[in-house]
Amino acid sequence: MSESEAMSANHDCGGDAAAYVLGALEPAEAEAFSRHLEQCAVCRDEVDVLEGVVQALPMAAPQHPAPRRLRRRVLRAVRDQPKGAGHRPRRLLGAGGWPNPRIALGALAAAAVVAVAVIGGVELAGGGGGARVIRASVAGVTGSAELRVADGHGELIVSHFSPPPSGHVYEVWLKAPGARPVPANVLFTVTRNGAAEVGLPDSLAGISQVMVTPEPDGGSPAPTHSPVIVAQLS
């Protein structure tokens, strides 16, 4: 039995899966867990299931409007949740009979995944007819991205995303069929967990693609780099 198979068989490592999907791990922890996923089939399955929950639950959520700042507050609270000092053998109970902190964090993160997914679904459902979520393609960097479109406007959501190179920011571009990309007048970077929520002020009517490129600080009048994010609207 290989080392990776033994690790999957013993499976004493899944407590970080929910926090990883949520983006609640420190950068070093997220990178270490990402490397671990290459060797552990059990944890890969857990991550796939949790990501499926995030995608599926918005469609099943009750159709009630909710303030957008509520979703942001939930995400901020989870990201600010303190982490354990290091990786130690996992125990359900620690000294004195108290719950192990990292097990508790995993449970909290799993609950937060559900809460965020439901809140996200409620927010989309309350945005009027035609609301949809478009999974964007990502190239040249790590992470995932999706475009949420409602009432002709969009919000770009990125997770576990690589920061832009030093001296650069991410710039958003809008492309109509047969036309060159034009600036959306939106620049952004990501948090230490690789997350960002970017509102697009312009209407997406007539736009076929929303793209993101790394550009020098202050932005560029035209793309100088191949896109790292492409969301296909049509």
* Residue 164 confidence (pLDDT) above 80: yes
Q: Are residues 144 and 222 in the same domain?
A: yes
Query: Final residue of a domain: which of 64, 96, 125?
Result: 125
* Residue 150 confidence (pLDDT) above 70: yes
* Residue 83 confidence (pLDDT) above 60: no
pLDDT at 195: 93
Query: Final residue of a domain: which of 125, 152, 187?
Result: 125
Per-residue pLDDT of 87-139, as tens digits, reads: 444 444 444 444 444 444 555 555 555 454 444 444 444 444 457 899 999 99
Q: Are residues 153 and 193 in the same domain?
A: yes
For residue 77, give its domain range: 3-125
Q: How many domains does the chain have?
A: 2
Q: Are residues 227 and 137 in the same domain?
A: yes
Q: Are residues 60 and 109 in the same domain?
A: yes
> From CA 144, how far away is CA 157, in angstroms rounded?
8
- Diameter over CA atoms, the chain: 67
Please compute the mean of the pLDDT values over residues 181-186 and round it to a whole number. 94
- Given its phi and psi angles, is residue 128 left (phi above 0), alpha (psi -120 to 50 degrees) or beta? left
pLDDT at 76: 66
pLDDT at 91: 42
Per-residue pLDDT of 196-230, as tens digits, reads: 999 998 889 999 999 999 999 999 999 999 999 99
